[in-house]
Structures are given as C-alpha cells and as structure tokens.
C-alpha cells in the first residue's frame, strides 16, 4: 500500500504522486510511505519515480526475499543524490512478560525493518509491518502540517524519536521484572525463578544488540557528515541519540544485574543444599552410635552379659538416648545448630 502526502506553504496538502521529483515545487515536501508494498508498487516508486541503487533495493526488500533471515541490521549509507537508512523498530511481543506461564521465544519474533530514503525534499519510508512510529508521524503531520516545511530530515527525526520512545515501557518492564525476581530469589530460589531469569537474559541480549547497532546509526547522523541532514536538525538528532544512549546504558545495567542474579541464584541453591546436607549429616551422626549399640546387643552370642539381665532392654534404650543427647549437646556447643 502506498500512502502519499505533499505539503507546500503556497498550496493545500495533496495525496497524489507527481510525475517525477522535478515536478515538485521548490518549497514542496513529499512523503511516500510504502506499507507492506507489492513488487509492482516498489517498482513504481523505487525504480520509476525515484530510482535507487540496486543494492539499496536489495536491502530494503530483504525481509520479503529472506523471511527466515529476518530484517537487515541498522545502517546508514550516503549515495550521490539520496541518504539511505535502515533501523529496526521493536517487535510486537517483546514487551510480553516472560513469567513461569508465558515463554517468550525471541527467535520466533518478527523483527521489523524500517528503511528510509531521504533527498532534499522527498522522504520515502518502506516497511512490511504496521509500525507505531509511522502512525505517530501521520498523526503529527495532520496536527502540525506547517512544520513539514522543515524537510524530510525533520520528518525522519520524528520517526526516530517515536521509535526510541517505544523502548521506554520495555526498559521499565525489565527493571520491574528484575526487582520482582530479586525478591523471589531471596525468598525461595527454585527452577521457575531460574527459567524466568534465562528468559529475561535472552530478552536483554536481544535489546542490547539492537540498541548498539541503532546507536551507531544515530551517532553518524549527529556528526554532520551527511549534507542531506541540515545543521539545524542535528540538535534534534542529538537529542534522540542521547535518549538512545540512556536506554543502552540501562539495558547494559540490566544485563549485568541478570548475570549477578543468576550467580546469586546458583549460590543460594548451593547454600540451601549445604544446609540440607548439614541437617542430614547431624541426624546421621546422632543415629550412628544408637545403631552401633543396637548392633552390639543384637548379636546372637550365648555368653552376652546383659542378655539375661532384667534391666537389659531399658539399659540399651537409655544408652542410646544418652548418646543422642551427648551428640546434640556437642553440636549446640559448636554452634552448628
């Protein structure tokens, strides 16, 4: 599907594709959004209207050509007459809580890809999934159409800003999950807590990889090395970059905390096992002398002195009880119990 929006300071907004980029007015800005486009629509926009390099088109259509390979990694490339950028928005489902009843299979998540081509007055966005950042930009342009005159670089900054803001609930949810898991870990470590930690670790690693790659893209956009990104817009890109750096730092801290909690879980399980073994060892130590006494007086010798004694049975029981009390007293004296 092709969505077209044209803005000009001297004419009302339009939704028709011009014959060529040269048909646009000097002050006119054009945004073409290709949402889950057909090959024919891609041919119309990316080969006939605004021809792009074959490698650019190959990168843009990678999710359709290689469904099992996933989206292309974030990158930015400058060509003679346009700037090409790829970013990976958050997949739907990454926010789902990975608790003991919900298993999050990150390898099954559809990692979206958003490709953008920027010229001096044209912005082309290409994606196969419905994206929140694109919806946000449409709503923004409807409310503030006068600001679209700032150009495609400003519009693309709004997309990136919305894309980065989508990380806020995810990072907050991860922080809440870590606090909850930390409490559960010290209350009662069990295999379910470890399973949740492993799920959370995979999610954090997934986010960390995406954030690091997108941080590199935004870092290049803030350096002023691309002539299609105006100097006055670099400050806005830098603001988005600062937000992304903060989320990257939070994810790094969450990654370290997950590793620490896993080590703590293993230590807690080991400590709990040691406590159990300690109790069993003390019970065995108490029972061992009693077993020895029972074994001695259970021998079938004819000349066993206490065999015919009237008080032999109470004597044996009392001796067993005495050894148990002495052993228990020794453990308390050593502060082992």
Q: What is the 3-state secondary structure (H, E, C) of 111-167?
A: CCCEEEEECCCEEEEEECCCCHHHHHHHHHHHHCHHHHHHCHHHHHHHHHHHHHHCH
pLDDT at 12 over 70: no
The domain segmentation of the chain, as residue ranges, is 2-269, 276-333
For 276-333, give the CATH class: mainly alpha
88 by DSSP, 3-state: which? Answer: coil
Q: Nearest to residue 29, comparing CAs of 9, 52, 49?
A: 9
- For residue 76, how far is the Cα from the chain centroid? 23
Q: What's the rounded Cα separation, in Å, for the pair 8 and 205?
A: 44
Q: What's the rounded Cα separation, in Å, for the pair 312 and 293?
A: 12
Q: What is the mean pLDDT of residues 52-69?
A: 84
Residue with tokens 């970059």: 241
Q: What's the pTM value of the predicted model, to 2 decimals?
A: 0.74
Residues 190-228: tens digit of each pLDDT: 778 788 888 888 888 888 888 888 888 899 989 888 888
**The CATH number of domain 2-269 is 3.40.50.2000:** no
- What separation in angstroms does the CA of 316 have from each of 99, 297, 309, 323? 56, 8, 11, 11
Residues 84-141: tens digit of each pLDDT: 999 988 876 565 444 444 444 544 456 788 999 998 888 999 998 888 888 888 888 8
Q: What's the rounded Cα separation, in Å, for the pair 24 and 14?
A: 11
């Amino acid at each position: 599907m092709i969505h077209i929006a044209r803005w000009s300071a001297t004419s009302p907004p339009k939704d028709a594709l011009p014959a060529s980029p040269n048909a646009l007015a000097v002050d006119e800005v054009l945004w073409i959004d290709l949402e889950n486009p057909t090959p024919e629509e891609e041919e119309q926009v990316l080969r006939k209207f605004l021809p792009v390099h074959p490698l650019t088109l190959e990168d843009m259509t990678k999710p359709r050509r290689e469904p099992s390979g996933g989206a292309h990694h974030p990158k930015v490339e400058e060509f003679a007459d346009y700037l090409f950028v790829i970013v990976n928005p958050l997949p739907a489902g990454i926010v789902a809580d990975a608790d003991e009843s919900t298993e999050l299979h990150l390898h099954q998540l559809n990692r979206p890809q958003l490709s953008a081509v920027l010229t001096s007055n044209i912005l082309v966005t290409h994606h196969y999934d419905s994206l929140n950042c694109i919806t946000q930009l449409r709503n923004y342009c409807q409310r503030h159409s006068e600001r679209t005159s700032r150009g495609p670089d400003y519009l693309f900054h709004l997309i990136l800003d919305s894309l980065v803001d989508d990380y806020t609930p995810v990072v907050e949810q991860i922080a809440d999950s870590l606090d909850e898991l930390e409490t559960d870990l010290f209350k009662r470590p069990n295999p379910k807590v470890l399973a949740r930690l492993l799920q959370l670790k995979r999610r954090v690693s997934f986010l960390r990889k995406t954030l690091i790659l997108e941080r590199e893209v935004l870092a290049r956009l803030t350096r002023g090395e691309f002539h299609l990104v105006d100097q006055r817009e670099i400050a806005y890109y830098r603001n988005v970059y600062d937000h992304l750096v903060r989320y990257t730092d939070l994810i790094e801290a969450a990654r370290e905390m997950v590793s620490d909690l896993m080590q703590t879980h293993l230590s807690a399980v080991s400590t709990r096992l040691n406590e159990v073994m300690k109790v069993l060892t003390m019970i065995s130590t108490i029972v061992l002398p009693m077993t020895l006494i029972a074994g001695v007086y259970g021998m079938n010798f004819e000349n066993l002195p206490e065999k015919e004694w009237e008080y032999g049975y109470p004597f044996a029981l009392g001796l067993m009880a005495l050894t148990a009390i002495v052993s228990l007293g020794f453990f308390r004296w050593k502060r082992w119990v």
